[in-house]
Amino acid sequence: MRYKKPKKVTSLVITDRDGMPVYNADTFRDAIRQTRDYVKWLLEELPPDYELRIHGLLDAMYPLEWLTEDAVIKTVTNKP
């Protein structure tokens, strides 16, 4: 048998203010939404030259939210 290298795994970890992992599906979705809302607030408050630097992050949050909502719904549905 040939030795197979383990695959690299990238994970997204969202924790509460105490640093504890969030296991509640609603809290997980809320964390994504609150991050997006915070970035929107930053874009409104910062000068225009900062807006260009941060705007890509805001656009990246939309597909991330869609993916996590889809994954969380499947996880909750599949629980016995």
pLDDT, tens only, 12-68: 555 656 666 656 666 667 777 777 777 777 777 777 666 555 555 555 556 555 555
Describe the crossing of helices 48-78 and 25-45 by its angle, rounded to 10 degrees.
Answer: 170
Is residue 68 in some structural domain?
Answer: yes
What pTM does this model have? 0.37
Higher pLDDT, 7 or 63: 7
* Burial (CB count <10 Å: 0-12, 13-18, 19+), residue 32: buried
| Residue 78 pLDDT | 47
Is residue 5 in some structural domain?
Answer: no
Is residue 12 in some structural domain?
Answer: no
Number of separate domains in the chain: 1
| Residue 47 pLDDT | 72
Structural domain boundaries enclosing 39:
25-78
Q: Which of 27, 15, 12 is closest to 60 using CA atoms? A: 12
| Residue 12 pLDDT | 53
Is residue 66 in some structural domain?
Answer: yes
